[in-house]
Amino acid sequence: MSKTELVSDEALEHRLKHHLERRELPDAFLYTGNHGTLNWLTLESSQRFPVAATLTSLLKEHARSIAQRIRNCRDVVSIGAGDARKELILLEELLHFSKPRCHIVDVSSRMVDEALKTLSGLGLEITGTVAFCEDLGRLAPDWNRPVLLCLLGNSFCNFDPAGLLPLVGNNLGPADLFLLDGSMLPENEREVARWRREVERIYNSPENVRFNTAPLVRRGMDPESCGFELKLVGVDSPWGQTYRTQKRIHVLKRAVVQCGTDAVTFAAGDVIEMGFTYKYRFAQLRQCLERHGFRVAESWPDRTGGNIIILAEHATTETEP
């Protein structure tokens, strides 16, 4: 096992300061440092925030079928792998067919350590890299082809597809595969209002509020100085209306946040914009992939249609018989 850091803790703090000065808090910074790792692992296991657990259960259900479909891949690369529990499920099944190398990529150095620990007993060549998704171009030359690129745990839906999919496409060859999953928008329009209320309830749970405000609180902001807001809003797209979370932190009174040796001062009334999660219907997600040069090779929905795993490939690739 080996670990490489393309981004240091100091560089992350500098980048965070730059974002906070613009009143932004990208979601990547929720996971960094010892506190970020512990906070995510706590939230991930919470029964009141079942998004990750539901997708992990779906992966367990279909892992053997997925492993059969990806058995020719020589490398497995997972972006935003967290503690790699999902990757462990997949690799354990894949070992029935092959012994691929595994590359874990996460912006959190502590999370990479957790992932390497999770996968240490597989007997595979495992590497961990601390990097952003945007660093794919620096990582891709080291991959053995064909490669399976994974964005699991609803991670795909946390990116703007117009930026993500060209990046993925530019770094995958014609024989490579792309595995992603997502928590979906109901197919039946009559169910959307109830679904929106439930999603907003889950994402506004005390556990998720603490997770989202933690980067500010542990850097000096009084928890009473910030109010968390999350709403689901409709978003027009070329494939119809989708939904996207809108997350904000409202600063209620003057506060100072320490980023390394630098400080950022907030005034009452400031609004900090955060990351987002898209909610698609399956047909919309398929059209989105097709618009960026991919096609769905196979998919595994759950019984409710509320969650799905998708295996995609370049649209020019011949379909496996």
Contact by Cβ (8 Å): 40, 211: yes
| Mean pLDDT, range 28-38, rounded to an integer | 94
Place of tokens 């839906």: 157
What does the pLDDT look like over 142-178, one tens digit per residue? 999 999 999 999 999 999 999 999 999 999 999 999 9
| Residue 59 CB-density burial (10 A; 0-12 exposed, 13-18 middle, 19+ buried) | buried
CA 81 vs. chain centroid, Å, equals 8
Q: What is the mean pLDDT of the chain?
A: 95
What does the pLDDT look like over 250-300, one tens digit per residue? 999 999 999 999 999 999 999 999 999 999 999 999 999 999 999 999 999
- Considering its fold, how many domains does the chain have in total? 1
Q: Can you tell me whether residue 71 is helix, strand or coil? A: coil
Answer yes or no: is 269 within a domain. Answer: no
| Mean pLDDT, range 71-90, rounded to an integer | 97
Asked whether residue 320 carries a pLDDT value surpassing 60, the answer given is: no
Looking at residue 49, its amino acid is F
Answer yes or no: is 58 within a domain. Answer: yes
| pLDDT at residue 200 in the model | 95
- The gap between the terminal CA atoms of the chain, to the nearest Å, is 36
| pLDDT at residue 321 in the model | 43
Answer yes or no: is 235 within a domain. Answer: no
CB contact burial 286-306 (16+ within 10 A = b; e otherwise) = bbbbeebbbeebbebebeeeb
Residue 57 is part of a domain; what is its CATH number?
3.40.50.150
Answer yes or no: is 264 within a domain. Answer: no
Pairing of the two strands 262-266 and 255-259: antiparallel
Domain assignment of residue 288, given as a range: 51-187+280-314
Answer yes or no: is 106 within a domain. Answer: yes
Answer yes or no: is 181 within a domain. Answer: yes
Q: Which residues of the chain form beta strands (DSSP E)?
A: 2-5, 24-25, 75-79, 101-106, 126-130, 147-151, 177-183, 226-235, 242-251, 255-259, 262-266, 271-274, 278-279, 294-301, 307-314
**What secondary structure letter does DSSP report for 166?**
H
Asked whether residue 52 carries a pLDDT value surpassing 90, the answer given is: no
| pLDDT at residue 51 in the model | 86
Pairing of the two strands 226-235 and 271-274: unpaired
Answer yes or no: is 262 within a domain. Answer: no
| pLDDT at residue 316 in the model | 80
> Please, which pLDDT band fits residue 318 given cuts at 50, 70 and 90?
low
Q: Can you tell me whether residue 221 is helix, strand or coil? A: coil
| pLDDT at residue 50 in the model | 86
> Please, which pLDDT band fits residue 45 given cuts at 50, 70 and 90?
confident
Q: What is d(CA 63, CA 318) in angstroms, rounded to the nearest whole number?
A: 23
> Please, which pLDDT band fits residue 317 given cuts at 50, 70 and 90?
low
What does the pLDDT look like over 187-233, one tens digit per residue? 999 999 999 999 999 999 999 999 999 999 999 999 999 999 999 99
Model confidence, pTM: 0.95
Give the CA distances from residue 105 to residues 4, 5, 79, in Å, rounded to whole numbers and listed in that order: 10, 10, 5
Answer yes or no: is 145 within a domain. Answer: yes
